[in-house]
Chains A and B, each alone.
Chain A
């Protein structure tokens, strides 16, 4: 079976190369049969990668411990869903999973767009299949998942495996990597469209709309992946945090930030025909940051708890990055004329300018994170000294940047396209500003003195006011004209311009997340050494240890504390934090117990037993407002879905600035 799997990957690599050459030669020599044949090769690549993936999954499920990958990442006692998750639990399998997703995306693109984007399709295929061929090369030569264990030239069956890392044996870990990979890999598609449009000098904005839709979908996957990772860290690692500024976490955030910037600035291209070069740079940067993230995760350039084992694929990834970036830079420089703006910015005080500032701040945040992540490596190379760049740096830089971004989130809707007068600005900003200042005043009245927390809550109110007033003004107008109630009018309003109002809903999700992040300024924690019957306190909670239990099953042994919780004297329930020791890996993990509420979480971690093994050590945390982060995600999810719904009214964006200029390349949209 392993030979069949390896052969399938080798053949897939050959077909991917054929697809690249076939599409390019077909286009160059004007031989349609070659182009069509290249399209079919994409389907063959998918089929072969699917066969290889099925063989690996079967080996994981059946426990074929002759395979090095299966022996290292699976064992007999694991439930079937974790065996399945082992597919992406290790280096080789995750690269195969990546390739499988990329080939699946490629099939969808070819199937859905081959008629609409006839001219661009050979180039789209060339970009997609070059990337696929590169990953197939990795899993065919240096990182094959089908290597067998050998001893004295004979194949060795280990009998059982080491199992999946216990920290990864958690339900969100079954879906977190696929979501993140769907995001990472998905950004290849808009990048392929962008490059194809650049090469073929596509007129019009059709491809931009297609690219935006793909970016939105993959952005949602990436957001989901990042948030699931944060949720996993919060609920599994036992330290109560959801973000550790680990290089691998940062790597997942970087393409998300550039994609967010792209989703904003692409509106300028659609509506005003501006920022074409910038959009090309953003979508390319997003793709290359995905590859860079992969390089960071898999080569050990920087130390990270999340990273896969160090390997020798770094040189392959760096070469791919270098060639890719050089190629894109050349293409952009070569086609600057094609990327020229069709209209001009009229005023600094305009919606267009707010997008420029939004992009600047997003990119500054991206740069700060990238800089902080790589600086230890750069500094060591320059000075020879090892240094640490930890949480204080990231927070010192990113908190003010994040707050400014939050401010711009509120400013955007208040400023008109083209230009805003001072009077209209005064009217637009008055109530949002008053409401934000009122929140700050009230919080100060309650004794809050944390500067950033006050600013953050004030800005959250500012943005909330602008978003709600946007909905209210539009809904009231529809309600009056169509004689509908306000809720129905709000629904009608959103449906008419799903993109705009879906975007506002996404902004509300971001506001909720900021409320959650700000809550961390008021965290409380205590470490308690307790025995049965002990009563301890944290915040307004009383914790009574009702029982300490222990036991085992096939996979792990466990200690558990049964803790009765009271709040202000009234019993509110029982929490049961647990500590496990996985038998195969001899690795301990925490199963924290959390009482989740909107205002705060009570979070208990069974950290271990005391030195003399007589008492349990419990870490207790109170995390105010942390639930807002997860609620914010659901609002963001819903808002993104709304953005994807086709609007009831097809909007036309007349580029009024060009009236009278009558340039050839400026079509009037209908």
Chain B
């Protein structure tokens, strides 16, 4: 490492002060919170998701892997195993699911440390745990590792959906694919698949992880401020989007198996 790298006191230059950009952002925030309909920064309407690009098999070294790109958010998930559990683990009749989420140093606007995200690792585990047939791989562990290459909002739901595609790609037995979608409550409106800016402005957030074929929710997280009437609608909105996302996952899995059999 260069001599200067260790010394503190470096900073990323901020954008010029009082810039027009900030005013424009503030105006957009007001419109999103108060108007009945207004185009979002990327031109979507309130209930449109970003176009989803998903693919299996970016990491050949893993048993299964998947890449997901929703707008600026880019995620890779690798699945390893079933393989030997850590030596310190006690005997277990059922398999173990081990999840880890980390960010690259350049994932966010300001250079980070690239550390593990413990909260997301735990949430990912909880979202998938109910869907994986743990008794099909006793005594062993399946590792699910996610790396966020670039963070552009709705990171966790995208990690969850991508992880379930990677698990399927690895041939791990599951009751159903898990897809996940989040919405943000902003003033009077509910906005689906929020970007980083929209997440920063939100009054409340809701994340639903869902198994569309079984119509079962594996995880539901509600944060912040919500008025009563909106929650039911928001959950239904998420479930509907999850079902559509699941179709995309299925297509990708069909693509990869038809390629393999050729």
Q: Do A and B bind each other?
A: no
Which positions in A face B, CB cutoff 8 Å? Answer: none
